[in-house]
Amino acid sequence: MKTQKMQDQIFGVIVLAVAAFYTVFTFLIPLKEGSDIINARTVPLLLAALMWVLGICQLVTARKADTKPLDKEARDLRTVLKTAVLIVVYIALFEPVGFLITTMVYLFLQFIFLTPADKKPNYLFYGIISLVVSLFVYTIFRYSLDIILPQGLITFF
Amino acid sequence: MLELFAQGFANVFSPFCLVLMVLGTVIGIIFGAVPGLSSVMAIALFLPLTYGMDPGQGLSVLVALYIGSVSGGLVSAILLKIPGTPASIATCFDGHPMLARGEGAKALGAGVFYSFLGTIISVVALMFIAPQIAKVAINFGPHEYFAISIFSLMLIATLSSGSMVKGIFSGVLGLAFATVGIAPLDAVKRFTFGTVALSDGFDVLTVMIGLFAVSEVIKIAEVAKREKASDVAQVNMKVKGFGFTVKEFIQQIPNAIRAALVGLGIGILPGIGAGTSNLVAYTVNKNADKKHSDEYGKGYIGGIISSETANNASVGGAMIPLMTLGIPGDGVTALLLGAFMVHGIAPGPLLFQNYGPLVYTIFVACLVATVLMLVIEWYGMHIFAKVLKVPRHILLPIVFVLCVVGAFGLSSRVFDVWAVLIFGVIGYFFTIFKVPQAPFVIGFVLGSMAETNFRRGMMMSDDNFLDFFTKPIAAAFLIFTLVYFLYVVVKEIKKAQARKTASGQAV
């Protein structure tokens, strides 16, 4: 996304894509027999129509948008990507492996990923915090709120 | 009314409730103070903990969190020169120069004291205004509710961002997500893709956690590598009272009153709240306070008073439409709405009729939380200053884990955790494309209310939409919405043309 114009155009296309998706699935909503003019599809149809209008408006206005290059706000995409993958894996393993292990590992790795470049990750400190937080949260939920978090592999605690 | 008040006091002053409220205030202030943590996150995290409490206690804790977090932003605004939340942006303007002059304690004292004053004024206003509105609203039918929800959505979509298209899209997308699940009235399944999990639709808590917490973690990831340890200013807190004199207090009364009114009014309007009111009040007072106009921004106590009175005055304001109509104006009140719903209570005019003791418990809780905030924030200042030193790359992942647990705790299914992730991704895309998040949330929350009342109203009117315009209140809101919309469109077109001629001249 080098210019405001490009960014605006991409956004317009995304809006239209969402509109298309929503429209298609709106027409797949089953209707009850003999339903009124106003039925379960009415509001989704109105919303879909609005999305189309908004997407077109966005594309029309984007034509006149600034073509100067955007300030390079250095987005650290590597860290973002690592964080995103880590979160997805964490959630995917949340139930099968269990809260304690996944949370400990998630926290430990996430601390490392987010450590500022001018600092050295303090592995021991990170490890201790990860352990303490996971155990603390688990115990509170399990024993004082009666919410049983997924036990996964550790079934004795 | 006095009897209800006494009952409210009795509820709030139970030891269990008080302890929780103290805790709520402390956590609220911390979430307000630490940049990157917000009121919404504080309440989203605590909401699951209140499921097991009785409604009065649960809401008391959430109110304490809310009030604490709106005020807490001033701590970092003054000590860190970064506002902890958008509610304290204007506090930075004068907080920093005062700190540089060695008046840090005075700045903090004024901030804390006027947060207190702003909240008290707005809560008293809430107590007197809300029952009156409830009395009128009791006669509202589907037509009125539909009109008011559309009006709210329009306001929030246009006020919360620079781009009208993006604001409205955000709201429409929120409405679209609200259509997932079983349709109102005829119970048709929509957008469930054959799954059971989707037939209940998405839970508001998953939307909020995803939009506000997950996207925050990802945002931190963008800049984490470059982050420097935060530089928390040291302040000698040994001052008399709150650091300012009685004379200054008397001098500042007009500023405080103007700011409180601005805060209250902006709080009542859907879509804008403390994040806007502090800036508006600052500008209003700068213009109205002619004698000192030049001193604003150079370390004038009136600047801090404007900002901090107004942002907290918005708290009481925002509670008015929530409690009387069941219409939330921002993320925080959307969660409070969820808190009512968890206990099977629908806020609205009937709340005042059927749950009188609960209503007054909430009023009392607001007052008590305000006092707690004053005491805890002032005397615990050095502790909050220390919390600011905790690096964000440690704090945010922990908050994220708590969010995941909260989402899971909803109904013990991983589906909700995945939903959090989906909304987190949406939230992140929103930040990339500068789409405001608030309209999405309000669209989502008001979606089923708007649709149910629309369809009910149409049914009652034999499918004749014009019938909405025959009810005076519904018609007034709809016509205002329409006129306002046209005004915004015209303004937007003019803006575009101005830009075009400007760039034309440049070439």
What tens digit of pLDDT does each residue of B122-171 get? 999 999 999 999 999 999 999 999 999 999 888 888 877 678 889 999 99
B378 touches chain A (CB under 8 A): no
B259 membership: H or E segment, kind and range = helix B253-268
| DSSP helix/strand/coil, A3 | strand
Q: Give the nearest chain B residue to A99 (CA atoms).
A: B405
* pLDDT at position B114: 96
| DSSP helix/strand/coil, B303 | helix
Q: How many angstroms separate the CA atoms of B95 and B81, rounded?
A: 8
**Whether B52 and A95 lie within 8 Å, measured CB to CB:** no
| DSSP helix/strand/coil, B189 | strand
Among A147, A148, A149, A151, pick the best mutation site for testing chain B contact (most B Cβ within 10 A).
A147
How far apart, in Å, are the Cα atoms of A76 and each of A79, B224, B286, B433, B452? 6, 8, 40, 17, 44
Q: How many angstroms separate the CA atoms of A153 and A143, rounded?
A: 19
* pLDDT at position B473: 92
B3 touches chain A (CB under 8 A): no
Using CB atoms, pick whichever of A54, A107, A141 lies closest to residue B398. A107
CA distance A120 to chain B (A): 11
Which of chain A's residues have a Cβ under 8 Å away from the Cβ of B217? Answer: 83, 87
- Per the structure, the count of domains in chain B is 1
In chain A, helix, strand, coil percent, each to 5? 65, 0, 30
The answer to whether residues B439 and B149 touch, using CB atoms and an 8 Å cutoff, is no
A87 touches chain B (CB under 8 A): yes
Neighbour tally for A111: CB within 10 Å: 23
Q: How many angstroms separate the CA atoms of B233 and B266, rounded?
A: 32
Q: Shortest CA distance to B429 belongs to which of A21, A54, A90, A84?
A: A84
- Which residue stretches of B209-252 are H helix? 215-223, 246-251
Domain that holds residue B266: 2-506
B463 touches chain A (CB under 8 A): yes
Per-residue pLDDT 10s for chain A (157 aa) are 568 888 889 999 999 999 999 999 999 888 876 666 788 889 999 999 999 999 999 998 888 777 777 665 667 788 888 998 998 899 888 888 999 999 999 999 999 999 988 888 899 999 999 999 999 998 888 887 777 788 877 776 6
- Stretches where chain B sits below pLDDT 70 are 161, 229-230, 500, 502-507
**Whether A39 and B393 lie within 8 Å, measured CB to CB:** no
Residue-wise pLDDT for A11-50, tens only, equals 999 999 999 999 999 998 888 766 667 888 899 999 999 9
Q: Give the nearest chain B residue to A4 (CA atoms).
A: B433
**Whether B169 and A133 lie within 8 Å, measured CB to CB:** no
* Polymer length of chain A: 157
Among A37, A64, A109, A114, pick the best mutation site for testing chain B contact (most B Cβ within 10 A).
A114
Question: Could you state, in order of their start, the residue ranges of all structural domains in chain A?
Answer: 4-62, 77-144
Determine the residue type at A114: L
* pLDDT at position B196: 83
Q: How many angstroms separate the CA atoms of B499 and B163, rounded?
A: 14
**Whether B183 and A145 lie within 8 Å, measured CB to CB:** no
| DSSP helix/strand/coil, A69 | strand
DSSP letter assigned to residue B437: S
CA distance B464 to chain A (A): 10
**Whether B225 and A76 lie within 8 Å, measured CB to CB:** yes
A124 touches chain B (CB under 8 A): no
Show the CA angle centred on residue B130, arms to residues B129 and B133, nearest 5°: 90
Determine the residue type at B158: T
Which of chain B's residues have a Cβ under 8 Å away from the Cβ of A74? Answer: 226
Q: How many angstroms separate the CA atoms of A18 and A12, rounded?
A: 10
Place of tokens 């909401």: B47
B168 touches chain A (CB under 8 A): yes
- Which residue stretches of A28-122 are H helix? 42-62, 77-97, 99-114
The answer to whether residues B302 and B308 touch, using CB atoms and an 8 Å cutoff, is no
What is B28-75 written as a DSSP string? Answer: HHHHHHSTT--HHHHHHHHHHHHTTS-HHHHHHHHHHHHHHHHHHHHH
The radius of gyration of chain A's CA atoms, rounded to the nearest angstrom, is 24
Q: How many angstroms separate the CA atoms of B301 and A146, rounded?
A: 49
A86 touches chain B (CB under 8 A): no
Measured in whole angstroms, the distance separating CA B24 from the mean position of its chain's CA atoms is 16
Q: How many angstroms separate the CA atoms of B467 and B483, rounded?
A: 19
Using CB atoms, pick whichever of A10, A83, A106 lies closest to residue B221. A83
* ipTM score: 0.87
DSSP letter assigned to residue B434: T
Q: Give the nearest chain A residue to B187 (CA atoms).
A: A40
| DSSP helix/strand/coil, B130 | helix
* pLDDT at position A74: 64
Q: How many angstroms separate the CA atoms of B20 and B30, rounded?
A: 15
Using CB atoms, pick whichever of B397, B463, B500 lies closest to residue A111. B397
Residues near B13 by Cβ (< 8 Å), separated by ≥ 6? B368
A106 touches chain B (CB under 8 A): yes
How many CB pairs (< 8 A) connect A and B?
Answer: 168
Place of tokens 């408006």: A57
Residues near B135 by Cβ (< 8 Å), separated by ≥ 6? B349, B352
